[in-house]
Structure 1
């Protein structure tokens, strides 16, 4: 594993061990489209669960996981919601921009997760994204009371605009994945063609130029101060994000 990723895993593990049993450790991983933030967040959550299993094999054998991975794809506005906006044509074309997300719902979830974990605590839920229908699915990702560490990933988790900055203020750690825009472009072009978002590389380059990297500039220019900056590189540990992104 890339040493910088392992260092983050060990940092998160140490902070989890120091966190009161009645509290959760919340980590937000952000970056521009194509930065590798999804890959990083998923790896960190997986490694934390492996460390927990090694230290507490009995509890882990019962199916308990202490780390959960929450992608922001589920907070995309639905296609119906985009169509109801004042300029639906632009809204659909710019799907993936900050204004096409339901940041307020995400903020409400984070506030709920900051409440003390009591014996009677119930499972909470986050939305997922159904790539077949190209829309979010409400209450599809369970967040069990046993999940004491939550690793979120999304473009705007360190954006200095409400409600994103309000949710960021409730996080224990803000991590930002830094990547060269040209590297991100190549990753995104491959992804868009493979996922059918663009019919060919020329169309994919147009989409990247007119949407993804426009969003990327806002993400970089309006970024909050973060706890960790992680450099994404072109090697196996930083393979392009495997999760499919929403298709327009």
Structure 2
């Protein structure tokens, strides 16, 4: 399902897909993100949205994940944050966590989206939810847990049968430690808090116990490339999430972003291009295949 962002006063047609003939109904939609929330459990509705005197057709098929698309990225951040706050407010048990798995190819904007949504959730929380939960006084109701910290150490790559290949393919699924990530998520579920590793890009290795997800963090966005894979340990990791989000982006656009990132960090252009074709693009293709496992698709928008 694709849902466009529009004002509270926009008018739309809704058609219901069923064995019966199609019926068109004129309605005034509420704010779009609340509307999306109400439709998240039923994926049999399409929306025809009229904007600027032109009709934009937005459609879905049964069992497809809803798609979030906005006129600007800030609207997407705001809507996703407003989606999460009521869920956090409904949790009376302080040990409970609502864990979101956010996946997408390199260059999709996962880290930025996760941090911006978390920042907005924390900003909204005192305004909308503090009266509903007297046990939580910290403004940090939400937190980000990046998958980057679960890279294998360089020394572990050195110990592989083909160290040169291992370093060249760093970032592929087999250069991570999914068992450790799964262990962290299980501890978070059972104990309500966990220490997790971060990743030091200056030295190229994880930093153990550098991130603390506290018992007060009711919403945790775990972001990383392979979180929605459906094979091996990754499949068990995906089962730990209450919601599974995927950022959809044109692969050529995402590779251009990664190329700029490589060059900005000091790689010569020819080396950066080689790495894209040898490692980043094959990884992205694998990640894009996991989009089918998402509950919510987020359209990537240029910043």
TM-score (norm 1): 0.85
Where has structure 1 moved over 6 Å in runs of 4 or more? 59-62
Partner of 1:16: 88
Structure with larger Rg: 2
Aligned equivalents of 1:36, 1:60: Cα separation in 2: 33
Partner of 1:239: none
Partner of 2:144: 69
Aligned equivalents of 2:201, 2:90: Cα separation in 1: 38
Aligned equivalents of 2:236, 2:292: Cα separation in 1: 11
Aligned equivalents of 1:194, 1:124: Cα separation in 2: 33
RMSD between superposed Cα atoms in Å: 2.2
Stretches of structure 1 that go unaligned for 5 or more consecutive residues are 118-122, 237-248
Deviation, structure 1 residue 146: 0.9
Secondary structure in 1 matching 2:112: helix
Q: How does 1:127-206 map to 2 (within 5 A)?
A: 127-196=197-266, 198-199=267-268, 201-206=269-274
Contact between 1:74 and 1:126, CA under 8 Å: does it hold in 2? yes
Partner of 1:245: none
Partner of 2:34: none
Deviation, structure 1 residue 224: 4.8
Matched, 1:81 2:156: yes
Contact between 2:77 and 2:120, CA under 8 Å: does it hold in 1? no
Aligned equivalents of 2:202, 2:254: Cα separation in 1: 25
Contact between 1:178 and 1:231, CA under 8 Å: does it hold in 2? yes
Partner of 1:29: 102
Matched, 1:91 2:163: no
- Identify, as 1 or 2, the structure richer in strand: 2
- Identify, as 1 or 2, the structure richer in helix: 1
- CA displacement, residues 55-84 of structure 1 (integer Å, 9 cap, x when unaligned): 439x89975511111111110001001111
Secondary structure in 2 matching 1:185: helix
Aligned equivalents of 1:206, 1:137: Cα separation in 2: 28
Stretches of structure 2 that go unaligned for 5 or more consecutive residues are 1-72
Deviation, structure 1 residue 162: 2.0
Matched, 1:230 2:303: no
Question: Bigger relative contact order, structure 1 or 2, given CA contacts below 8 A and separation 6+?
Answer: 1
TM-score (norm 2): 0.70
Deviation, structure 1 residue 53: 3.2
